[in-house]
Chain A
Amino acid sequence: MSLAAQSHGFLSPTGVEITFLLVGLVTLGAALVTVTTRRLVHAALWLVVALGGLAVEYLLLTAEFIAWVQVLIYVGSVVVLLLFGLMLTRAPIGPSPDADSENRWVGLAVALAAAAALVWVVVDAFRTTYIDLDGAAQGTTEVTGQSLFRGWVLPFEALSVLLLAALVGAIVISRKTAEEETGPGGTAPVTPPRRTGPRSTGNGRRGITAAASAAARSRATTTPATAPEGEPGPAPETSNSQAIDGEAPGKGEEVPAKGEGAAKGGEAPGKGGDLAAKGEDAPAKREDAAAKGEDAPSKDEEGEQR
């Protein structure tokens, strides 16, 4: 170390160092804009700049494989995912004045203190340490591949399991929430109807029609003789009110004895179907959704994530 320190003065930068410094300044600036801008989408775009700058820094440090991975995964997928997230949460396109919370000044103070401490310590410790980049590149695909598959096979495989678990977890989390979604506003009531209806006419009506179809299905299963599968459900106007009834939590469980009403409704299908649907939509719907609604929402979520 001391040899290197003597041969390379701290204030005698080489070309690589100058490049590193400039790119680093750009990266830092982009990062600062990312955390301060009031336009949320711009923040994501500035994040691309910062992450790309980091990729360049990796290249300058001869870690080319990591640089390309950085570009692929971060710039390619993570930022896209973040943009989707912004979209799905209806983030405003224009400047939003309340992008920063009241905690800003505390956060600033903490961040500055941490920066001061870290920079002081790092500079104090590695003031004289020098990296000799003139030798063989340390991060070529070959070198990285060899080290990965020689020394890190087991963690690598474990990581793949972890990725799988994360994938499944993300699906599960968003699928559960997807079941509760009623409309584009995301204003979910406590137990909304499922989004499993085959006759979805639009975003605003998805839940309603789903409830209606679920009701029709449940009626079909309870009285198969008089109401066969595929019988057209009640008119959408009546199903509206059914859906609202269905939104009241546990209504179906409170009147479980209405099953006899269901049988009656089956014999007089003209308007008795409404009764049947009202009486049993909650329990029947649950089973139906569990049985039938597996593919549709998970597909949706995968689409959102990719």
Chain B
Amino acid sequence: MHLAYPAVLSALLFCTGLYGVLARRNAILVLMSVELMLNAVNLNLVAFDVWLAEAAEDTLHSGQALTLFTIAIAAAEIGIGLAIVLAVYRARGTSDVDRLRETAERGHPDGTGGSGADAGDPDGAGRNAADRTEAAA
């Protein structure tokens, strides 16, 4: 098999994932896109490992071992990533990446950025208030 096929497929998958990371709004969709990118890398690793095992008599199989490691690390990453997304969602009421903008530089001329606690979360406070009245009732 030509090495170009898996390599090109991997490149395209990687860029697809890249697009997803850059364009998706929901944090979990972003995580999915990250998975796509990781898998593209895995495909590359496997393909080159097979090629090198044939062509360079490589018996260490570093590509496959690394693939396994990548898969394990990806599993860990998705666990922690989801935990973080959940924490963010509970604290902010949203998991939309482009609404979590506390680090934005506000337009103050003296350079003191606002606290921005509710700038990225305009309806969180309202929901809090609603929840509180509900609890009181």
| Residue ranges of A at the interface with B (Cβ–Cβ < 8 Å) | 1, 8, 10, 14, 16-17, 20-21, 24, 27-28, 31-32, 34-35, 40, 43-44, 47, 50-51, 54, 57-58, 60-63, 65-66, 69-70, 73-74, 77-78, 81-82, 84-86, 88-89, 91, 98-104, 106-108, 110-112, 114-115, 118-119, 122-123, 126-127, 129-133, 135, 138-139, 143-144, 147-148, 151-152, 155-156, 159, 162-163, 166-167, 169-171, 173-174, 176-177, 180-183, 185-189, 204-205, 207-208, 240-241, 243-244, 247, 301, 304-305
> Which residues from 53 to 87 on chain B have a C-beta closer than 8 Å to any C-beta of chain A?
53-55, 59-62, 64-65, 67-69, 71-80, 82-87
* Partner of A138 from B49, B71, B91 at Cβ < 8 Å: B49
- Complex Cα–Cα for A77 and B53 (A): 30
A101 touches B24 (CB 8 A): yes
A148 touches B72 (CB 8 A): no
- Complex Cα–Cα for A115 and B22 (A): 14
7 sample A-B contacts, Cβ–Cβ < 8 Å, listed by A number: A20-B5, A28-B9, A35-B16, A112-B15, A131-B3, A143-B61, A155-B65
Q: Tell me which residues across on chain B come within 8 A of A144, comparing CB atoms.
A: 61, 64-65, 68
B53 touches A47 (CB 8 A): no
B26 touches A99 (CB 8 A): yes
Given contacts A151-B60, A177-B91, contact A28 B26 (CB under 8 A): no
B78 touches A81 (CB 8 A): yes
B79 touches A167 (CB 8 A): yes
B5 touches A24 (CB 8 A): yes
Q: Please report the number of residue pairs spanning A and B whose Cβ atoms sit closer than 8 angstroms.
A: 317
B46 touches A63 (CB 8 A): yes
B24 touches A100 (CB 8 A): yes
B87 touches A147 (CB 8 A): no
What's the least CB distance linking B118 to chain A, in Å? 12
B12 touches A28 (CB 8 A): yes
B89 touches A115 (CB 8 A): no
Digit string of B1-16 for contact with A (CB within 8 Å is 1, else 0)? 1111111110111111
Given contacts A57-B43, A78-B35, A173-B87, contact A110 B22 (CB under 8 A): yes
* Partner of B32 from A14, A44, A77 at Cβ < 8 Å: A44
Q: Tell me which residues across on chain A come within 8 A of B78, comparing CB atoms.
A: 78, 81-82
What's the least CB distance linking A224 to chain B, in Å? 30
Given contacts A103-B98, A115-B15, contact A139 B46 (CB under 8 A): yes
* Partner of B12 from A65, A81, A107, A119 at Cβ < 8 Å: A119
Q: Tell me which residues across on chain A come within 8 A of B20, comparing CB atoms.
A: 34-35
B91 touches A122 (CB 8 A): no
Given contacts A89-B89, A102-B98, A147-B65, contact A111 B50 (CB under 8 A): no
**Chain B residue at minimum C-beta to C-beta distance from A147:** B61
What's the least CB distance linking B84 to chain A, in Å? 6
What's the least CB distance linking B49 to chain A, in Å? 7
B119 sits at the interface (CB 8 A): no
A40 touches B12 (CB 8 A): no
Given contacts A20-B6, A118-B15, A174-B83, contact A73 B59 (CB under 8 A): no
Q: Tell me which residues across on chain B come within 8 A of A31, comparing CB atoms.
A: 13, 16-17, 36
Known: A1-B55, A82-B78, A166-B76. 13 other contacts (CB 8 A): A28-B12, A34-B36, A51-B39, A69-B71, A73-B71, A139-B61, A144-B68, A156-B69, A162-B73, A162-B76, A163-B75, A180-B90, A186-B90
**Chain A residue at minimum C-beta to C-beta distance from B136:** A244
- Complex Cα–Cα for A91 and B20 (A): 17
